[in-house]
């Protein structure tokens, strides 16, 4: 057998001597056969272009035809999907340690991709299990609050202390539908004080209360606690406030003492008489006479005593101590909140309500 036959046999069997080579059809350079990829139909069992030229040509094709390459890769993957999955699974089961090492290395080298993937999967899960997640969160929250009431209370108090401005804005938005940032604007329009008595917010001890119409729900202004409760006690009624103003200026007074033998009175009536005498210096007979003269009704709102669960209260001047008349609990409380100031606070309260009523009529 000659040298040429030996070379041909060696090529056919795959055992090609390193001295044998061929010329690349692209770069036109003679290179050893090891520089050419195998090809059954090629000369000497190798491709016509070398590996370097083939890689360069493939790179140019990938660059110029990215969509075709993606489509080809996708088609190939889908065609052999089950086979590829089975092979990957078999490799992972055979090489668990190496698979773990590769996964950990990829996670370390690609933190942004890991974060994006987690967010994407989390969003997809939340969208598809929204109701289940909500119910589960409600259950866990209720269970935690039941087991840790003190911790929850302390955490809420701490949060409100750290976020006082935001907490106030959030509550105003929830209860009165006030836009965020409207409270400071309203306070500035009122010169930093109550719309009725003019007391500054710093002297009130707490934030000013938002006063609103209980019929329409429209916000009217900011009031201190006493003025707000006083309006509520008089039920936002200007007529009742005028009656209170007239009452303070000219109270009906208490009739003089009329002696009545109390031997026939019950134990509760005698105790009531002692309490009236100790606190107001008046007898039970005087109370009953005043009640009769007022037709068993409040001096201000004129409502009958049967409309209230408690008896009419004895109203007295806190400066002189003189008993002025009998009032229902609401009117008596309202006068106390307005400091019995008929010429100033009650008049301002009437003007405050009338200005709101006038603006509401103009808007209508």
The CATH class for the domain spanning 237-363 reads: alpha beta
Residue 330 near residue 240, CB atoms below 8 Å: no
Which pLDDT score, from 0 to 100, does residue 148 have?
A: 95
DSSP 114-130: HHHHHHHHHHHHHHHTH
Max alpha carbon distance in the chain (Å)?
A: 158
Which pLDDT score, from 0 to 100, does residue 258 have?
A: 55
Q: Which sign, positive or negative, has the C-alpha torsion 213, 204, 345, 188?
A: negative
Query: CA 102, CA 81: separation in Å to the nearest integer?
Result: 22
Query: CA 70, CA 144: separation in Å to the nearest integer?
Result: 52
Query: CA 272, CA 60: separation in Å to the nearest integer?
Result: 108
Which pLDDT score, from 0 to 100, does residue 23 have?
A: 92
The two structure tokens encoding residue 1: 């057998």
Which pLDDT score, from 0 to 100, does residue 55 have?
A: 94
Residue 49 near residue 24, CB atoms below 8 Å: yes
Query: CA 241, CA 245: separation in Å to the nearest integer?
Result: 6
Q: Which residue has the tokens 């209230």?
A: 308
The two structure tokens encoding residue 7: 């070379």
**Which residues of the chain register pLDDT less than 70?**
1-19, 255-264, 340-343, 357-364
Which pLDDT score, from 0 to 100, does residue 93 have?
A: 93
Which pLDDT score, from 0 to 100, does residue 36 have?
A: 93
Which pLDDT score, from 0 to 100, does residue 145 have?
A: 94
Residues sharing a CB contact under 8 Å with residue 48, sequence separation 6 or more, in sequence order: 24, 25, 36, 42
Query: CA 195, CA 193: separation in Å to the nearest integer?
Result: 6
What are the sequence ranges of the domains in the chain?
3-78, 130-162, 164-225, 237-363
Which pLDDT score, from 0 to 100, does residue 113 have?
A: 93
Q: Does 164-225 match 237-363 in CATH topology? A: yes
Which pLDDT score, from 0 to 100, does residue 261 have?
A: 56
Q: In the Cβ-directed half-sphere of 302, how many Cα atoms lie within 13 Å?
A: 5
Q: Which sign, positive or negative, has the C-alpha torsion 53, 59, 65, 69?
A: positive
Taking domain 164-225, whether its CATH number is 3.40.50.720 is answered by no
CA 134 to chain centre: 16
Residue 328 near residue 291, CB atoms below 8 Å: no
246 — phi, psi (to 5°)?
-65, -35
pTM: 0.50
């Amino acid at each position: 057998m000659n040298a040429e036959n030996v070379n041909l046999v060696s090529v056919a069997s795959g055992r090609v001597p390193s001295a044998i080579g061929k010329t690349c059809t692209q770069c036109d350079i003679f290179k050893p056969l090891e520089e050419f990829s195998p090809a059954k139909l090629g000369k000497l069992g190798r491709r016509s272009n070398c590996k370097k030229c083939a890689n360069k040509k493939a790179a140019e094709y990938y660059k110029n035809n990215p969509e075709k390459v993606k489509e080809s890769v996708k088609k190939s993957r889908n065609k052999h999907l089950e086979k590829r999955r089975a092979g990957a699974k078999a490799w992972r089961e055979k090489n668990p340690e190496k698979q773990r090492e590769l996964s950990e290395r990829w996670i370390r080298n690609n933190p942004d991709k890991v974060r994006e993937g987690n967010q994407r999967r989390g969003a997809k899960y939340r969208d598809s299990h929204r109701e289940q997640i909500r119910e589960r969160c409600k259950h866990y929250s209720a269970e935690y609050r039941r087991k840790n009431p003190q911790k929850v209370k302390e955490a809420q108090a701490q949060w409100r202390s750290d976020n006082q401005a935001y907490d106030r804005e959030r509550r105003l938005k929830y209860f009165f539908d006030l836009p965020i940032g409207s409270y400071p604007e309203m306070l500035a329009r009122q010169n930093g004080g109550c719309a009725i008595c003019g007391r500054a917010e710093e002297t009130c001890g707490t934030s000013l209360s938002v006063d609103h119409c209980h019929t329409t729900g429209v916000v009217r202004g900011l009031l201190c606690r006493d003025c707000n409760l006083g309006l509520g006690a008089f039920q936002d009624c200007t007529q009742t406030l005028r009656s209170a103003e007239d009452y303070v200026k000219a109270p009906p007074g208490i009739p003089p003492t009329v002696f009545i033998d109390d031997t026939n009175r019950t134990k509760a009536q005698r105790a009531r008489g002692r309490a009236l005498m100790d606190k107001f210096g008046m007898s039970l007979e005087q109370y009953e006479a005043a009640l009769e003269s007022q037709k068993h009704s409040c001096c201000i709102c004129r409502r009958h005593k049967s409309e209230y669960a408690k008896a009419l209260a004895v109203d007295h001047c806190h400066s002189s101590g003189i008993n002025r008349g009998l009032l229902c609990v609401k009117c008596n409380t309202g006068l106390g909140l307005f400091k019995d100031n008929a010429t100033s606070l009650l008049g301002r309260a009437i003007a405050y309500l009338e200005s709101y009523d006038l603006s509401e009529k103009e808007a209508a």
